[in-house]
Amino acid sequence: MPLFHKNIKSIHLAAIILIGLTCLTTAISYSPVIFKFASPLSLTDINPSLRLFSIIIIVLMTMIKGIKIVDVFMEMRDTPKQWRRFALSYPIIIPLVLALILYL
Amino acid sequence: MQQLALIDEPSQQPSELSQSKLPGDIAMWLVIMMELTVFALFFIGFAVMKRLEPDMFLQGQHTIHITIGLGCTLSLLLSSYLVALALNEAKRGNNVKVAKLLRGSLCLAFVYLIAKSYEYTLLINAGFDLSTNDFFTLYFLITAFHFMHVILGCGILFYLHQQSRKQFYGPNEHQGFEAAAAYWHMVDLVWILVFFLIYIAH
């Protein structure tokens, strides 16, 4: 497959993944299942294991979205490895650090 | 030098030839790194304050509008998508298509600007401002700082659009476009984290 068409295909795929994950994270975050037995403004009433699972999923999805933007949209996939790793460290490390500060 | 060495090597594929190049200008990447560092400090500050005052931040997050946040995210993602497509067309010298894609991207960026302005109006009319509490101080600071980046990005996209109308871009003339596109994707990347921290992580 020519390089141009391969690039276009990966951009389309990345856009679908980004939009899908954005809608999914919003749905999980505001899911009525999570808040079924909780008062609207209390985190302590939420089932702890369900809460942890939701947090892990949302953080992972945020990381994937960032990786897609860096790798596909910014075209870092084809750059020297050290530049790519440096650019990818941001969408991986920052959500992880934020999640650790917020939830640990 | 490295590229010449690769060209001499007959087994190298075209995709491997492009591996030694960073998209855009090194100066733009330095700017991007600085911007990302500033935003990272804002994010860590927000997270620490939220840890210290969880109830205030939870109430604040229930006050802001998730549907507007989601709309802003989708419009920026789609705008970035169109810029990525435009860059590929610019590399082929298809300037007519580049101009069309950039017009679409600018329209989506304006959707973001209108939606965010509407959210600010709603919050200010409801009596919330920078001095309300720590949540709203950080909320307005982070989102307004990002908002200014989007305005600057719109100016850059408009410049790219005007250049593409002059048939400027081609296989050997797209480095400036790459740098501008990298900036616009950085704005998108930052918003993904703003959306996670302010709207989603509650």
- Give the chain B residue nearest A51 (alpha carbons): B202
Place of tokens 């939701």: A54
Taking a C-beta distance cutoff of 8 angstroms, is the pair B185, B84 a contact? yes
Q: Report angle CA B15, B17, B19 to the nearest 5 degrees.
A: 80
d(CA B76, CA B157): 13
Query: For B25-200, CATH number?
Result: 1.20.120.80
d(CA B136, CA B143): 10
Q: How far is CA B118 from CA A25, B28, B67, B68, B111, in A?
A: 23, 31, 12, 9, 10
DSSP B170: B
B81 to A18: CB separation less than 8 angstroms, yes or no: yes
B77 to A76: CB separation less than 8 angstroms, yes or no: no
- How confident is the model over B33-56, as pLDDT tens digits? 999 999 999 999 999 999 999 999
Amino acid (one-letter) located at B201: A
For residue B79, pLDDT beyond 60 = yes
- How confident is the model over B141-175, as pLDDT tens digits? 999 999 999 999 999 999 999 999 999 999 888 88
d(CA B5, CA B152): 39
- Contact with chain B for residue A48, Cβ under 8 A: no
Residues 6+ apart with CB under 8 A from B48: A101
- Contact with chain B for residue A67, Cβ under 8 A: no
Whole-complex ipTM: 0.86
Q: A74 to chain B: which residues are within 8 Å by CB?
A: 23, 181-182, 185-186
Q: At CB < 8 A and 24+ separation, what contacts does B115-121 make?
A: B115/B68, B115/B71, B115/B72, B115/B75, B116/B68, B116/B72, B116/B143, B116/B147, B118/B68, B119/B64, B119/B65, B119/B68, B119/B69
Least confident among A83-97, B15-29, B86-100: B15-29
B23 to A43: CB separation less than 8 angstroms, yes or no: no
- Give the chain A residue nearest B182 (alpha carbons): A74
Per-domain residue ranges of chain B? 25-200
A41 to B55: CB separation less than 8 angstroms, yes or no: yes
Longest CA–CA span in chain A (Å) reads: 55
Task: Give the pLDDT confidence score for residue B6 in this predicted structure.
Answer: 42
Q: A19 to chain B: which residues are within 8 Å by CB?
A: 74, 77-78
For residue A90, pLDDT beyond 80 = yes
What tokens does A64 get?
């994937």
Torsion of CA A81, A87, A92, A98, to 10 degrees: 150
Residues 6+ apart with CB under 8 A from A73: A11, A14, B80, B81, B83, B84, B181, B185, B188
What tokens does B97 get?
């298509």
Q: B28 to chain A: which residues are within 8 Å by CB?
A: none
Give the gap in angstroms from C-alpha A89 to the nearest C-alpha of chain B. 11
- Give the chain A residue nearest B76 (alpha carbons): A19
